[in-house]
Structure 1
Amino acid sequence: MKLILAPMEGLADFWVRQALTDVGRYDWCVSEFVRVSGQLLPPRVFYRWCPELKQGSRTRAGIPVHVQLLGSDPACMAENAARAVELGAPAIDLNFGCPAKTVNRHRGGAVLLDEPDVVHAVTAAVRRAVPSSITVSVKMRLGNEEDALAVDNARAVEAAGAAWLTVHGRTKRQGYRPPAYWDRISHIREAISLPVIANGEIWTPEDARRCQHESGCQDLMLGRGAVADPWLVNALRDEGRATRWEDIPPVLSRFLADVIGTGTDAQVAGRVKQWLSYLRRQWPQAGVLLEQIKRESDPQAMAPFLAAPMSGQAASE
């Protein structure tokens, strides 16, 4: 079973990838997308979205990081894929799943699923542009407005020479609203011989088992569920212990120490609050802690709250 940390734009950046892979046993993770639009990007752009390129394309814990590209021009995507590999990318992932309106208006992301020929052309051009030792993979949704072309897109990806395909079990129109339609991923898996990785709405080990059963996929990509429970990936590997609330504050404390100085004080404080918002899905203690610091914009002032969190009993009183 392969377990992969998803490329979550605006959420799983370098610092979150670092924190999650410090404690979670992932096979690899994927960077936020590097947007390609009509030019060969300078190295600084790749380093911005994937700073791990400067450290052997691995996180602090040694987990490989694949570089994701988003765009619709085959030649330009190929050129930038070659640049990413020159900078040290161990693998290239192509984004045909982003639902953001700004991206879609410029013919990027999920809107391209209406054009399987473009999906094929981009994937094939990138595959030709990088050495055979570099894997090229694709991440897509079931479709743009509907999923009628899901199998066509999957076959286009396979014919273009991709090594595997990750499928988020919703269309662009469905966004991130539950449920994810894992059973529809099974239709794609049955239509192609490529390995298929299932993604979408996996929050718990129970969700993961249902996803595997309904999709027929053994391999999973974890997204927001990994942020809501940093040890979810380990639970899926049958390590035998559920996450305890007491495990969480040390992760947040180290994360805070890492991100201080990477933005304004308010931005850094906002990062911690954002993470607590996800954590409170499972732990009421996170909600209590968020209430205590929600008006705080000084990261240094937040540190003592993370260092001395309330116990589970106190939080429930």
Structure 2
Amino acid sequence: MSSPLSSLTVSPGRVILAPMEGVLDSLLREILTAVNHYDLCVTEFVRVVDQLLTRKTLYRLCPELLHGGKTTSGTPVRVQLLGQHPQWLAENAVLATELGSPGIDINFGCPARRVNNSCGGAALLKEPESIYRILRTVRDALPAEQLLSAKVRLGWSSPDECHEIIDAVIQGGAGELAIHARTKEDGYKADAIKWEWINTLRPKINIPLIANGEIWNAADAMRCRQITGCNDLMVGRGALQLPNLGAVIAKNATAMMWSEVMGLLLQYADAALQQPRSDYLPSRLKQWLVFLKQQYPEAAELFMSIRTVHDTSAFVEQLNAAKTKRA
């Protein structure tokens, strides 16, 4: 007798690159979309407080707006907003779409304490009525042809909270929903993933549904699709651990070799050096290496050799030396 999973047939769908604040910046989006098949990227959240942001601010956080809202490889990039004031979120959503964002995403899932302490991100999961008001106000302000999407978790402390949250999202007028299958209090604990809850919710959701959380390889993607019943997936940390994860999932590609990954690290360094400020480069690439070493032993070795290097020039020299040594 076949298992419940093996009896399910789920067609391949979209693979979307998740927003990761302080990690997946425009440079990394450019690099990862060039070596993958991603149907969409969502930016790091743009924080909205009590004012209309300047065009310069939006262009800095999403330079793809200057190129039709797409990366060089042609992947659409949707601006994500985070905040608690409906009218200011609506005004900034209109501006972002006027500048070229293909739709707007609203963040109701970020678990960071500094974000939640200012009543943003996952803190709003405790207030479904606020989620409704934000989405309804933004939806009413946007032209009908502009897609409004939302990203949520299953709840703050219990997945039982998800029913009111989902109702608020749908009644608020969102046209697409990504669910990270953990609560805020679950954080990113691997054993706390609750894909089965998405399948439970799916019958009541009449808009495109995207499953997110704990997708590290092609087998995880297949299991997630089978358990959730969702064709569309969103990958985040897995895309940093395995840089061509999108292609592995969508195109059955072979996992990238370490020599190719080194090329991507150097490509990021070269691009960062062209920016007005590049002093963040060592910390950003060390951060990436922390993810990479879960997949590549060579990344752990490289991390140990450069972990105390803070000067940008010396850091790049070490990267080049490491590549030459491996050649």
TM-score, length basis structure 1: 0.93
Deviation of the 1:293 alpha carbon:
2.5
Match of 2:194 in 1: 181
- Structure 2 residue aligned with 1:254: 267
How far residue 264 of structure 1 moved from its aligned partner, in angstroms, is: 5.7
Query: Quick one: which of 51, 55, 60 aligns to 1:48?
Result: 60
Equivalent residue for 2:239?
Answer: 226
Q: Partner of 1:131 in structure 2?
A: 143
- Pick closer, same or farther for the CA change 1:240–1:77 going to 2, 3 Å: closer
Task: State whether residues 306 and 315 of structure 2, in contact with CA within 8 Å, keep that contact through their aligned partners in structure 1.
Answer: no
Distance 2:154 2:316 in 1: 44
Give, in whole Å, the separation in 1 of the partners of 2:253 and 2:43.
29
Question: Amino acid of the residue matched to residue 77 of structure 2?
Answer: V
Greater shift, 154-163 or 240-249, is seen at 240-249
Partner SS, residue 217 of structure 1: coil
Give the structure 1 partner of residue 5 of structure 2. Answer: none
1:71-94 deviation digits (Å, cap 9, x = unpaired):
122111111111111211111001
SS at match of 2:181: strand
Deviations 1:116-157 (A, max 9, x none): 111111111111111111100000011112222212211221
* Map of 1:35 onto structure 2: 47
Q: Check whether the contact 1:265–1:299 (CA below 8 A) recurs between aligned residues.
A: no
> Are 2:184 and 1:168 equivalent residues in the alignment?
no
Post-superposition offset of 1:201: 1.1
Determine helix, strand or coil for the equivalent of 1:281.
coil
The yes-or-no answer on 1:63 pairing with 2:75 is yes
Residue in 2 that maps onto 1:72: 84
Q: Confirm whether residue 274 of structure 1 aligns to residue 287 of structure 2.
A: yes
Q: Residues 37 and 251 of structure 2 are in contact (CA less than 8 Å); yes or no, is this contact kept in structure 1?
A: no
Q: Measure how far apart 1:265 and its partner are.
A: 5.7
User: Pick from 306, 317, 326: which aligns with 1:301?
Assistant: 317
Q: What is the Cα deviation at residue 222 of structure 1?
A: 0.4
Do 2:240 and 2:292's aligned partners in 1 also have CA atoms closer than 8 Å? Answer: yes
Please name the residue that 1:112 is paired with.
124
SS of 2:78 mapped into structure 1: strand
Shift of 1:167: 0.3
TM-aligned CA distance change 1:265 to 1:2, over 3 Å: closer
- 1:151 pairs with 2:163: yes
Cα distance in structure 2, aligned partners of 1:306 and 1:20: 21
CA distance in 1, matches of 2:276, 2:213: 30
Determine helix, strand or coil for the equivalent of 2:206.
coil
- Alpha-carbon separation, structure 2, partners of 1:157 and 1:228: 31
Structure 2 CA distance for aligned equivalents of residues 309 and 137 of structure 1: 46
Kept in 1, the 8 Å contact 2:36–2:246? The answer is yes
Partner of residue 3 from structure 1, selected from 7, 15, 25:
15
Contact 1:285/1:310 (8 A) holds in 2: no
Q: CA RMSD in A?
A: 1.7
Q: SS at the partner of 2:182?
A: strand
Query: Which SS does the other structure have where 1:171 is aligned?
Result: coil
- Please give the secondary structure, in 2, of the residue aligned with 1:34: strand
* CA–CA distance in structure 2, aligned partners of residues 300 and 136 of structure 1: 40
Whether the 8 Å contact between 1:5 and 1:221 is mirrored in structure 2 is yes
Aligned partner of residue 161 in structure 1, secondary structure: coil
Q: Which residue is equivalent to 1:289?
A: 302
Check whether the contact 2:244–2:256 (CA below 8 A) recurs between aligned residues.
yes
Separation in structure 2 between the aligned mates of residue 227 and residue 265 of structure 1, nearest angstrom = 20
Identity of aligned residues (%): 41
- Asked if 2 retains the 8 angstrom alpha-carbon contact of 1:289 and 1:309, the reply is no
1:207 aligns with 2:220: yes
Which residue in 1 is equivalent to 2:105? 93
Unaligned ranges ≥5, structure 2: 1-12
Question: Could you tell me which of 156, 167, 192 is aligned with 2:205?
Answer: 192
Per the TM alignment, residue 307 of structure 1 is displaced from its structure 2 partner at its CA by 3.2
| Structure 1: stretches of 5+ with no match in the other structure | 312-317
**What is the rounded CA distance, in whole Å, between the counterparts of 1:302 and 1:28 in structure 2?**
34
Amino acid in structure 2 at the alignment position of 1:202: I
2-structure distance, mates of 1:131, 1:229: 38
